[in-house]
Amino acid sequence: MTDTDGLPLPRRTFAIVAIALGITLAVIDSAIANVALPTIAADLDAEPAHAIWVVNGYQLAITISLLPFSSLGDRLGYRNIYLAGLAVFTLASIACAFATSLPMLTAARVVQGFGAAGIMSVSPALLRFIYPQRLLGRGLGINALVIALAAAAGPTIASAILAIAPWPWLFAVNLPIGILALLFAFPSLPATPRSPHKFDLVSTLLCAVTFGLVIGSIDALSQGEAFWLFLVELAIGGALAWILTKRELRSPAPVLPVDLLRIPIFTLSIATSVASFMAQMLAMVSLPFMLHDMGFDAVSIGLLMTPWPIAIAIASPIAGHLADRYPAGLLGGIGLGIFSLGLLSLALIPDAPRVEDIVWRMALCGVGFGMFQSPNNRAMMSAAPKSRSGGAGGMLATARLFGQTTGAALVALMFVQVPGQGAMVSLFIASGCALVAGFVSLARLYERPSLQVMRPSNPEADPMMHADTLRKQARDEPPKEP
């Protein structure tokens, strides 16, 4: 079992490298196949509408398994789930590289998605055991930086590989990186406490179907699905969500961590994350179309959007350092206010802007988003008891994915509803979402941090949770009068 306050150096450094390499693989592969889809479809003699499942299969596998894997991490140990996810991802990458038909490639991508979910679901929880508590904000800032850079670099890396090699190399390059990550991970990642509760298979299946229907229906809507079918899928998903919630409220160890939502700081952090990532995706999807309409080619568009991730790379570590000293609600509110102003300035940009007019607006968005992300993640992870870090990490990743999927669907709707002005309207909506997220973030300033998770079961059934509760009571409650 690991030390209660992080790992010693240099083991901590090796563990951080292992986490960074795994996260990089999982995030890059979320975007890398998009660039190659036309090439893959042509090479495998597949229809474009069918080839899209190379991307959708990967995303859907992540969506339905994030929370089950995070819950499994509470029971089997976060280290074991991470190592298994990394191994599955690496082996599935080899299967993708050797696929000779679209069904083979799609099946391998689904398996790869399950591996990526294993990596992403427990990474934030592992960071809580890798870093000392006083440095947790800094660690989450570095993690946010890795995610931002990997997401931004995905299309560029894909284009570079396709320029010199056929598409299977997009997946084959994962092999050496995956092996390197495993070599770092095995000796360095900490063993973590395990929950004594049994794994709830029924809740796991309900959770997978619910999130698959809800997020899958939103994604399908953005791909042109009939609106009535979207409503039917959403209604079924909502009904299953209600059944799942009622079931989980009675569970001592829920797969869907609804008990954590009773912690105000945690709930507000989740809401902030969903709204901010919705704003980010609204902008990221609509901006290339707006810049294209202004006369910029594909290469120029990529370069003009580069200041955004560069600014995130600069702001995230700084914000992570500040998060160890200042309230996340304040830092997040300031960052999201800047983000909202940046998005508004892009929506109001002139029809024939100069390059510098675009660059400073992109950089402003990146600075604001980078200031919010690390403190928000720190607040979310710190609000949950340490024994529930897996559930908290799963909710963090799910909130990001749900916000991004919803944002992409909104852009598609705007392009249909407001022809010719969909990109501009999407940016206005993005600015509004960021502003709402900023106010939600500031609301955390009026909430007291709490590690107590309210459940109908006896807290002494979980020794780790009971210890957290006793420490909280000893710290917060005044001595009673004799």
Q: Which value, in Å, is the radius of gyration of the alpha carbons in the chain?
A: 22
**257-448+460-474 has which CATH code?**
1.20.1250.20
Summarize the confidence of residues 320-344 as an average pLDDT: 91
CA distances from 263 to 248, 258, 331, 455, 461 (A): 16, 10, 20, 11, 20
| pLDDT surpasses 50 at 398 | yes
CA distances from 62 to 156, 221, 298, 463, 467 (A): 23, 19, 29, 31, 33
Q: State pLDDT tens for residues 104-150.
A: 999 999 999 999 999 988 888 898 889 888 887 777 777 777 877 78
| pLDDT surpasses 80 at 260 | yes
For 69-88, the DSSP string reads HHHHHHHH-HHHHHHHHHHH
The DSSP letter of residue 259 is T
For the chain, percent of residues with pLDDT exceeding 70? 88
CA distances from 42 to 54, 55, 104, 164 (A): 13, 16, 15, 18
CA distance linking residue 33 with residue 50, whole number of Å: 14
pLDDT for residue 476: 42
As a residue count, the chain comes to 482
For the chain, percent of residues with pLDDT exceeding 90? 30
Contact 304, 365 (CB under 8 A): no
Q: State pLDDT tens for residues 86-108.
A: 999 999 999 999 999 999 999 99
Reported as half-sphere exposure (CB side, CA atoms, 13 A), residue 209 has a value of 17
pLDDT for residue 35: 66
pLDDT for residue 223: 65
Q: State pLDDT tens for residues 348-362.
A: 998 888 899 999 999
pLDDT for residue 467: 39
Q: Which two tokens stand for residue 1?
A: 């079992």
On the question of a cis peptide bond just before residue 10, with omega within 30 degrees of 0, the verdict is yes
Q: What angle do CA 366, 370, 374 make, to 5 degrees?
A: 165
Residue 480's pLDDT band (cuts 50, 70, 90): very low
Closest CA to 169 of 250, 99, 231: 99
Total Cβ atoms within 10 A of residue 134: 11
Please report where in the chains the tokens 């300031």 appear, as a residue: 334
Residue 49's pLDDT band (cuts 50, 70, 90): low
Helix or strand or coil: residue 143? helix
Please report where in the chains the tokens 């084959």 appear, as a residue: 172
The DSSP letter of residue 108 is H
CA distance linking residue 181 with residue 480, whole number of Å: 53
CA distance linking residue 243 with residue 424, whole number of Å: 39
Q: Return all residues near 292 (Cβ < 8 A) that are at least 6 apart.
A: 301
Average pLDDT, the chain: 82
| pLDDT surpasses 50 at 481 | no
Dihedral angle computed from the Cα positions of residues 377, 334, 324 and 404, in that order, rounded to the nearest 10 degrees = 10
The DSSP letter of residue 101 is S
In CATH, the architecture of 1-199 is Up-down Bundle (1.20)
Contact 124, 377 (CB under 8 A): yes
Q: Given CA atoms 329, 443, 272, 370 in this order, what sign does their dihedral have?
A: negative
Closest CA to 121 of 187, 23, 29: 23
| pLDDT surpasses 60 at 451 | no
